[in-house]
Amino acid sequence: MMDRYIASELLAPFVLSVGIFASLGVAVGYLSDLINKAIESDLPILQAVQVLLLKVPEFVSYALPISVLLATLIGYGRLSNDSEIIALRSCGIHLYRIIAPAIALSLIVTGIAFVFNELVVPVANYRSTAILVKSLNEEVPFWQTKDIFYPDYKKVTLPNGKTRQKLKGLFYAKQFDGKQMKQITVLQWAGENIDRIIISDSASWNDRQQKWDFFNGTIYNIAPDASYGETLFFKHRQFSFSRIPYDLAALGRDPDEMNFVQAQEYMKILRLTGDEKKLIMFQVRSQQKIAFPFICLVFGIVGSALGTRPQSNNRATSFGLCVAIVFLYYLLGFIMGSFGAIELLSPFLAAWLPNFIGLGVGIFLLKRFAVE
């Protein structure tokens, strides 16, 4: 009975908070930008509405941990103000037992947030970006629709036994439509000199034969003295180049548009390209995506501890505390993420340290109020 009663005090403000915070997030964080695109860039109204609806899951995921925090602050604050917490404790019920429903709620919401961020948010974000790219030809940092550039390296062993990377080829495509590369230029080295230049109108990856199909192109063979040798024209020819340029273009997305498995596959490609800066950024963001749902548990413990404290705690105070805690937490997360990006912290610590600190603060507060 006690669990059901406390749960009823928490569920109503939780559901209301999710709706309010998600709506505010969409309105403040995205609606004005979308209106500008509709007015200034002639984004069709139907596409604008689709993009707006597709952004809702992202802001719902942001609202879940905040709503847990506010629900516990308001729910336990009401019980504390009406001396119900004192009454329960005078009956011999420990504070840890009183906050058990909040912990259960936090764990349930953590699971929901994790599934939501893995299965719903990446797909919705990707589709919204695809609509903007298609409707406005909008440039997106992680979407490779033009100027695909890939340097291909090989490892060579030096006389002293050390190894180093040596450039063996350069692949450049001016455009990519999702299936075909357009206006291709490939440079290939033999030793220290350029050996061959290939120019082609288009190219596509042949998955069955694991080769590139080049169409309407020219092969320029370069002599050792850097003069042009034989020139060959072709309508169709296959080449055994690396698949990586295709994967870079086809799989390139913002980390928020990938689930964990997709991010791991893309990071394998980044390791092959040698783009350490982007690789570290993806490692940090991937760990942050895993750590993010557990904010619900941290906020549930912190909110329960502060809500059950003996001092008066009305709804205005609860909302103020909620805003302050969320601001401090996300500021800490931003700082730790920046430290991870510049390799002052490992990706794991950069993502999880705010959770560990928040959990420590929550446990400390619980122990302090438990003895009062």
Please tell me the least confidently modeled range out of 165-174, 249-258, 276-285, 293-302. 249-258
Identify the DSSP state of 30: I
> How many of the other CB atoms lie within 10 Å of CB of 254?
15
For the chain, the structural domain boundaries read 2-136+278-370, 146-248
Residue type, 236: H
The whole model's pTM is what? Answer: 0.78
Distance CA 171, CA 212 (A): 12
Interatomic CA distance for residues 123 and 120, integer angstroms:
6
Crossing angle (nearest 10°) for helices 244-251 and 260-273: 140
| pLDDT computed for residue 251 by the predictor | 67
Over residues 295-319, the mean pLDDT reads 83
Q: Of residues 316 and 211, which shows the higher confidence score?
A: 211
Q: Which amino acid is at 279?
A: L
Q: Kindly tell me the sign of the dihedral angle through the C-alpha atoms of 230, 236, 241, 245.
A: positive
Model confidence over 323-357: pLDDT tens digits? 899 999 989 999 999 999 898 999 999 999 999 99
Cα radius of gyration (the chain): 28
Top-level class of domain 146-248:
mainly beta
Q: What is the dihedral of CA 90, 91, 95, 96, to 10 degrees?
A: 160
Which whole number is the average pLDDT over 5-26? 89
Q: Is the pLDDT of residue 299 over 90?
A: yes
Query: Cβ distance 237 to 224 under 8 Å?
Result: no
Sign of the dihedral through C-alpha 13, 16, 22, 26: negative
**Residue 366 Cα to chain centre, angstroms:** 32
- Cβ-Cβ contacts under 8 Å for 109 (sequence gap 6 or more): 14, 64, 65, 67, 68, 296, 300
Give the model's pLDDT for residue 31. Answer: 80
- Largest separation between any pair of C-alpha atoms in the chain: 95
Tokens, residue 140: 């997106």
Under the banding of pLDDT at 50, 70 and 90, the label for residue 39 is confident
How is 113-168 classified by DSSP, letter by letter?
Answer: HHHHHHHTHHHHHHHHHHHHHHHH----TT--SEEEEEEEEEEEE-TTS-EEEEEE
> Which of 252 and 345 is assigned the larger pLDDT?
345
Report DSSP letters for 315-353, one per residue: HHHHHHHHHHHHHHHHHHHHHHHHHHHTTSS-HHHHHHH
pLDDT band at 103 (very low <50, low <70, confident <90, very high): very high
- Is pLDDT at 148 greater than 70 in this prediction? yes
CA distance 85 to 151: 65
Rounded distance between C-alpha atoms, residue 132 and residue 43, angstroms = 8
Query: Which pLDDT does position 179 carry in this prediction?
Result: 79
